[in-house]
Structure 1
């Protein structure tokens, strides 16, 4: 059914995305790189998604369609696509997002020129009124440093060498539903080199039907379970509650004791990385400190006192303009 002659296969699992799927498909078939096949797996959609896909396939022979006999979910569907793929390179995509016209060309050229890299993603822009651009780290050690806090590979922006996934038996783990892509790229990054292109090659749509929006609690719990496994493997102290405060500061009104404990936890994370060479440990320490400053900034004077009590004057002075910006924000914040 699928061609062995195509340089790239784009893997697109879809379910009930009639509002966005046509625009998504058009962004793929109008790529400047044309030697690809688009494999769409419809997970038993109950709206008009399947009909739209068939209409698109009628006008472009590069589109191949599969349909699950019953609704199996995004993780099983994505793994099924990986198992069916035959091209050397596969590009992931989601049915509600949009590709930059040069995405496939730029990622293909990068992987051809960098044979040591197993997977390459890109920076991305959130679709909407604000059009926020997210710049992701570009080199492997920096990506892995970010991964100890948050996912630094935007899944629908990634192109990966299929043989690396199969050689290391890597696919999405249904036990981490809500953060399965995060877990997958962490496992690949442990045995292969990852990269991101600095250009925005994906326009990522946020809406109420998404896993990340409608199941926020489940996603966060899965995120923490991924980190728990990662921290234990790297002999790092893991504290479920404190790490959650660090990653999602939100608007919680934390007590002074909790802020102090959080600062001490950041110190213990930094100390555990003094001898680490697996990733950019200095960058990780910097990221953890930035997160802690963000929490403290929300708590104004109480946060500033907590920061100095745990991170010290030397930590404060290491900030922008010797910590004056951070201190000013804490003292004069109205938030």
Structure 2
């Protein structure tokens, strides 16, 4: 790869010391080396921030920040994004592990497909001892991903890489929706300007039982947030979620 642009890896951290070392190791071992990591600790009560500072001492590609108070995922992500210097943004979960060629594979795809503004990948769910329990089969085409963003899981947010050069300057900003809807809203906005696609191959090991920020979409408590986002999407985005998706989510959460 002759063109080696800088990739900014956004890493929000909150009480993640148990698996943070594994995460950092798979970042440092990436086959593509021209990256920076913007790690923002959201007032962790464990040793996460200390571990990040130690990593920074050994590898200057890591830039480490800490929130004075616990602000939540959206604010933490936005703080990291404001500090990103690269034209390409990769998201990462501190409890998960990257494949060796993750950055190289996704960057190559974006460079070869100039109309694609964001690319995800398949992921393997693992339990605490890294035993694989399932593998995703997300759609790969933009149309299939966008039309089903609100009705089913079509992309894993932590696998995303975004090409900022195709998007308005102020578009990469998260609203205050809870996980995973804050990513859904962002993908809807990106879809107004560029394609969103998935690679066919897995590039991330995602831990099935995760604490801190991440809550599965099936939780009943998320129904109200889903309905709010559904109406917001219908009103503000070119890609209109079908009415069926509203009833599927609301009735399915009972």
- In the superposition, the TM-score normalised over structure 1's length comes to 0.66
- Give the match for residue 48 of structure 2: 49
Query: How many residue pairs are counted as aligned between the two chains?
Result: 243
Counterparts of 1:59 and 1:67, CA distance in 2 = 18
Q: Given that residues 153 and 182 in structure 1 are in contact (C-alpha distance below 8 angstroms), is that contact kept between their aligned partners in structure 2?
A: no
Counterparts of 2:170 and 2:155, CA distance in 1 = 18
Structure with greater strand share of residues: 2
- Give the match for residue 34 of structure 2: 35
Please state how far the C-alpha of 1:85 moved relative to its aligned partner.
1.1
- Give the match for residue 296 of structure 1: none
Q: Given that residues 212 and 219 in structure 1 are in contact (C-alpha distance below 8 angstroms), is that contact kept between their aligned partners in structure 2?
A: no
Q: Given that residues 151 and 248 in structure 2 are in contact (C-alpha distance below 8 angstroms), is that contact kept between their aligned partners in structure 1?
A: no
Unmatched segments (≥5 aa) in structure 2: none
* 1:83 matches 2:82: yes
For 1:202-241, list aligned pairs within 5 A. Answer: 202-207=204-209, 209-210=211-212, 211-212=214-215, 216-231=219-234, 234=240, 236-237=242-243
CA-based RMSD: 2.5
Counterparts of 1:194 and 1:32, CA distance in 2 = 24
Please state how far the C-alpha of 1:121 moved relative to its aligned partner.
0.6
Deviates more, 1:224-233 or 1:11-20: 224-233
Q: Given that residues 206 and 213 in structure 1 are in contact (C-alpha distance below 8 angstroms), is that contact kept between their aligned partners in structure 2?
A: no
SS of alignment partner, residue 119 of structure 1: strand
Deviates more, 1:216-225 or 1:81-90: 216-225
Q: Given that residues 33 and 105 in structure 1 are in contact (C-alpha distance below 8 angstroms), is that contact kept between their aligned partners in structure 2?
A: yes
C-alpha offsets along residues 45-93 of structure 1, whole Å, 9 cap, x if unaligned? 1111111112222222211111122221111010111122111101011
* 1:22 matches 2:21: yes
Distance 1:242 1:9, change over 3 A: closer
Please state how far the C-alpha of 1:29 moved relative to its aligned partner.
0.6
SS of alignment partner, residue 91 of structure 1: strand
Please state how far the C-alpha of 1:191 moved relative to its aligned partner.
2.5
Moved over 6 A (4+): none
- Give the match for residue 194 of structure 2: 192
Q: Given that residues 149 and 227 in structure 1 are in contact (C-alpha distance below 8 angstroms), is that contact kept between their aligned partners in structure 2?
A: no
- Give the match for residue 103 of structure 1: 102
- In the superposition, the TM-score normalised over structure 2's length comes to 0.86
SS of alignment partner, residue 100 of structure 2: coil
